[in-house]
Amino acid sequence: MMRRKMPRGVKFVVIPILCLIVLCLVCLLVMGLWNWLMPAIFGLKAITFWQALGLLFLSKLLFTGFRGRSHRSMHWRHRMKERWERMTPEEREQFREGMRGRCGHAFDPPAETPTT
């Protein structure tokens, strides 16, 4: 099956419109949940669409800061990969045993399936 590419000009129009639609839907979801739960539970007033948008923006600033997403997780993954590559097979097995005690069977090597 041949996959068709979307023209570049169409992407610059369609993608922002889709992002705006998703933002509006999320904002409506926040507004609906707030207006459904908060007045009943805490006796707070209902909020408008724009107040819900402001609440989303405020939570974005408070929980992620001004810089957006951090790349610490990728840095940690890269460092762990380097450490893993420097380990001897015995050290790797010792590491797996330690992780099995903490995380269960997530670090067991995959079981070999017999081929027929």
Lowest mean pLDDT among 30-39, 58-67, 71-80: 71-80
What's the pLDDT score for residue 90? 93
Question: What percentage of the chain reaches a pLDDT higher than 70?
Answer: 78
> Per-residue pLDDT tens for 40-58?
999 999 999 999 999 999 9
26: CB partners within 8 A, 6+ apart = 56
Q: Indicate whether 34 pLDDT > 80.
A: yes
pTM of the model: 0.53
Closest by Cα among 37, 20, 28 to 56: 28
Stretch 49-74: mean pLDDT? 81
Contact of 52 with 28, CB cutoff 8 Å: yes
30, 33, 36, 41: CA torsion to nearest 10 = -110
Nearest to 56, CA basis, from 69, 5, 48, 104: 48
SS (H, E, C) 2-70: CCCCCCHHHHHHHHHHHHHHHHHHHHHHHHHHHHHHHHHHHCCCCCCHHHHHHHHHHHHHHHHCCCCCC
CA 37, distance to chain mean position in Å, is: 25
